[in-house]
Amino acid sequence: MTLVPGVAAVNLVFAGVGYAFLARSLRARSWAERVSWAGVALLIGAGTVGTLVFFAAIAGVRSTLAVAAACAVAAAAAGSFLRFDLPQRRARPSNSLLLGVVGAICVLGLVGGFRSAPWLDDAWGIWLPKGLALWHHGLDERLFVPNGQFVAFGVPDYPLWWSAVTSLDVQAVGHIDVRVMCAQVALLTVAFVSAVARLLWGYVRPSVLAGGLLLLVLCSELWRHVQGGVADLPLAIYVALFALGLVVWIETEEAFALLVAGVSGVTAVQIKTEGIAEVLIVAAVAAIAALPRGRLRGLGLVTAVVAASALPWLLWRWAHDVPSRTPLADTFEFGNAGRAADAAGELAGRLLDPLSWLVVVPLLVALGLAGYLRDRRIEWLFPTLGLAAGFAFLVWAYWTNPDPIDYLLTTSAYRTIDPLVLSAAVFVPLQAEYLLRR
C-alpha cells in the first residue's frame, strides 16, 4: 500500500473496534447519528488496540499487524457485549456556518498532516525507531539499557503506545515512511474535535460549541504540532478527553462517559511518563467537584483502573533495570529557585502567546472568574484550579530535572503544555454555556 490507504486501513480498524463498543447502543439510531460518533469510536479504538499491542510487547510478543488484528478482534468482541444509554440530547443545528468552517479547517489540517514529514527529531529519532524495534525484535531490554552490545534508545523510560501505533502504520504502508506520524496525529486531532462536538452536542448550545471549537482549530500551534509528529499532542488529546468524560459523568451520570474517561486515561498513561501525573491531577480536581453530588464511586473506580494500567510498564522497567530520565530519588532534590522561575516564565509565555494558542487559556480563566464573581460559587474555579495544578506539575518537573534548564525549555516547553491547552479548550464552551444558563 501507499501512505493514504495504509494509514486509512489501520484507522478504519481502530474505528471499527470503537464502534463495536457502541454497536448495541446505536442499533436503533439513524445512520446520520451513527456517523456522528465516528470521532469517539476512532479514539476509543486507537486507544484500546494500541494499549493492547503495547501490553503484548511487554509480554514478549512482537508488534506485528497480525498481533494487532488479534488485539482488535479481542477488544471488539469484549466491547460488543456492552450497552449504554447513549445521550439523546437534541439541539437545533444553528450556526451551521461556524460548524462548516470548523469542518473545513479540519479537512485542511488532515490534508496537511498526510502531506507533511515530521520536523521534530524525536519523532523520527526516538519514537518511530522504537516502534520498528518492537516490530522486528520485540521489546528487547538490551535496546533500553546502556550496555556494550547495542546503542540504547534515548529516554528509555517512556511508554511505547505512540511507537506501537506508528509502527502499525508503517507496516500497513509497506515501507518506512515517516509521514505516517503526521498523518496519524492529524487523524487523532480531527477525531478529537469531532468527539468533543459529539459529547457536548445538546448539552452546550450549538452556537457556543461551534465558537469554542473554532477557537481551537484556528490555533496555528495545533496544526504545527500535527505536522511535527509530536507525541505530546496525542497525550493532550487523551488527557483532555479523560477530563471531558469525567465532567460529563459528574453532570449527567451517564455510564458511557465513564467508558470514555477510562479508555482515555489508560491510553494517556501509555503515551508518556508524565501522563500518569496529569491524569491523576485531573482526577483529583474532578473528585472535589464530584464530592457534593455523591458521584465519587464511579470516578474512583475509573481512576483506579487508569492507575493500575501503569503497572505493566513500570514492572517491566523495574525487572530489567531500565533507567529513568529523572530518578525518583532525585525528584525531591530541588535545584536553585532560578530554575523554577525560568520554567514558570517560559511555560506561562507559551500558554499566553496569542500567536500560538490565541486566547484559549486566558478565556477559560476569564469565564471562570466571571462566573465566580457573579454567583460566588467555588465550582466556577475548578477548571482554573486544574490548569494551575497542571502548570505547577510542569514547573516542578523542569525544576527537578538534572539537565540544563535552558536546553530543556527550548526543546520541549512549547509542546509539554499541549495537555493544558487542549483541556482548557474543552472547558471553554462548557463555562460559556454555564454563564448563559445562569
In a domain, 103, yes or no: no
Among residues of the chain, what percentage have pLDDT more than 70? 95
DSSP string, 130-146: HHHHHHHT-S-GGGTS-
| Interatomic CA distance for residues 97 and 369, integer angstroms | 30
pLDDT exceeds cutoff 90 at 279? yes
Query: What is the mean predicted confidence (pLDDT) over 61-76?
Result: 97
Band of residue 418 on the pLDDT scale cut at 50, 70, 90: very high
In a domain, 30, yes or no: yes
CB 427 within 8 A of CB 383: yes
pLDDT exceeds cutoff 70 at 370? yes
pLDDT for the residue numbered 437:
85
Query: What is the mean predicted confidence (pLDDT) over 212-231?
Result: 96
pLDDT exceeds cutoff 70 at 58? yes
Chain segment 290-318, per-residue pLDDT in tens: 887 778 888 999 999 999 999 999 999 99
Band of residue 403 on the pLDDT scale cut at 50, 70, 90: confident
Q: How many domains does the chain have?
A: 1
In a domain, 101, yes or no: no
In a domain, 378, yes or no: yes
| Interatomic CA distance for residues 274 and 393, integer angstroms | 9
Average pLDDT, the chain: 91
In a domain, 94, yes or no: no
In a domain, 107, yes or no: no
pLDDT exceeds cutoff 80 at 238? yes
Chain segment 114-141, per-residue pLDDT in tens: 999 999 999 989 999 999 999 999 998 8
Among residues of the chain, what percentage have pLDDT more than 90? 75
In a domain, 268, yes or no: yes
DSSP string, 200-261: HBTTB-HHHHHHHHHHHHT-HHHHHHHTTT-SHHHHHHHHHHHHHHHHHHHHH--HHHHHHH
Give how far Cα 304 sits from Cα of 267, 300, 421, Å: 14, 6, 25
Containing structural domain, residue 33: 3-83+115-194+202-437
Band of residue 28 on the pLDDT scale cut at 50, 70, 90: confident
For residues 291 and 227, the model is more confident at: 227
pLDDT for the residue numbered 93:
57
Band of residue 91 on the pLDDT scale cut at 50, 70, 90: low
Band of residue 333 on the pLDDT scale cut at 50, 70, 90: low
In a domain, 90, yes or no: no
Half-sphere exposure of 43 (CA within 13 A, CB side): 36
| Interatomic CA distance for residues 429 and 70, integer angstroms | 39
